[in-house]
Structure 1
Amino acid sequence: MTTSRVLVNLSVRRLSAAALSLMMLLATSMTASADEADAKQLLKAMSDYLAAQQAISFDYDAILEVVTKDEQILALASSGNVVLKRPDKIRATRSSGFADVEMSFDGKTLTLLGKNLNIYAQQDVPGTLDDLVDALRKHNRPLPAADLLLTDPYEVLMQDVVDVKDLGSGVIGGVECDYLAFRKKDVDWQIWIAQGERPYPCRYVISSKSMDGQPQYSIQVGDWKTGDEVAATDFSFKNPTDAKKVDLKDLEGADELPNHFQTGDAQ
């Protein structure tokens, strides 16, 4: 009789432990699901806000990491400014220790000006800002924060995402932000979105998982302005310094990497 009572008590304890484990598993799954839904909702709200702005300007600081053949990670820093007017006009600058570049697009012509060498190149790119982003990527000359400036950032950012996390909040440049993290097969990316009525991107970080050292590209945004706050801008190219025109392939001093860096294959 005592033996039977012991067996029954053990069975109850095991059942209770199993039920508790199941409850904890369900609670964890529900929390993860809720966090994922919240993160997607926050990203979608940012995307809708950005797409609705007809005029935007901001300053930025960017870091591009490169990995040497002996696995040392080097950080190349640059700063600049972006001014855009939807659907088809933008002017962007990028200054670093080895380049001083201005890009302008008036809906018809793309102009890249190497200020430090006083040379420029042009290419016909009729269309919208989305068309411009595609054209620049084909020439391996990406626009700063290009994914965030498209007509529908959410669709582009969420493509092939396999994991989503809402990591709470953080502070970037004194602005309280929602902190989100996403994973794809080849890259991880994180974004900090300003809380409140203007959910603009304060910081955006992309990590490459296909290269040794998993180097990152990060861009931090400041002095965010929209609508009437944006100063009037001429998006056409005037050439006030009598810069020399060259073919786009011959435009030196405008790349993200200095000339003494030699690129190799990703590992």
Structure 2
Amino acid sequence: MSRLPTVFISHGAPTLPIDPSMPSAEFATLAQTLPRPRAILMLSAHWGTAQPVASIAERPETIHDFYGFPRALYELRYPAPGAPDLARRAAASLVSQGIAAATTEHGLDHGAWVPLLLMFPDADVPVAQLSIQPRLDAAHHYRIGRALRDLRDDGVMIVGSGQITHNLRMADFSARPEDADPRVNEFTDWFEQRLTERDIDALLDYRTRAPHAALMHPTDEHLLPVFSALGAAADDYRLGIQSLGTFQRALAMTNYVFADA
């Protein structure tokens, strides 16, 4: 098996699987363009710890880590098998690179299971989740990706799940895609240009260099997973962009694939 690409998913609102106004079908379209992984290592914006922790759960529960949504959403389950051996190997890879890491049993939060439900609806690809560190920076998460890069040689797809823009205080849930705040596109255009140029230094310093960075990400936990996906990619990666529009005025739904050239 050739080395798998790495992926960053903008997972949107938890209602993505049940809201017909959201671009849910496009996640299945994206999955169809990707090689089928033997296992997935998922880094979600919604599991944060002080240091990296990998879940060794054999049957990870579906965590409904949200409140006030329609009942149908709480009835959804994603019964994918866990990947405890992958989780242990990921933790060991981090430790070998001087990054303290641990293991525990943890389920799949909505940043993990919501996009996976749409991409791999049969729930037949084993999944291990690795936590992010919300108090640490982009460079730390890029380094994590670098330490995990060799997993891709064994059929593992490393997936970061967050949101390319994420400021809920700006959100307008009645807005149409054409009502997007223009500053969203200014930020994503800058980010995608730097990705295209493989300008890693600029990307890691995005909070200083990108237009409207603090507005698009008052806190950056939803962007941090992209840096791990980027770090795990080849130095000369080929960038794929799936742009699905901007919803709720401020949430850009853009997915990135980092494939070997």
Q: TM-score range by the shorter chain?
A: under 0.3
Return the structure number with greater relative CO, CA threshold 8 A, min gap 6: 2
TM-score (norm 2): 0.25
Q: Which one has a bigger Cα radius of gyration?
A: 1
Give TM-score scaled by structure 1 length. Answer: 0.25
Q: Counting strand residues as a fraction of each chain, which structure ranks higher? A: 1
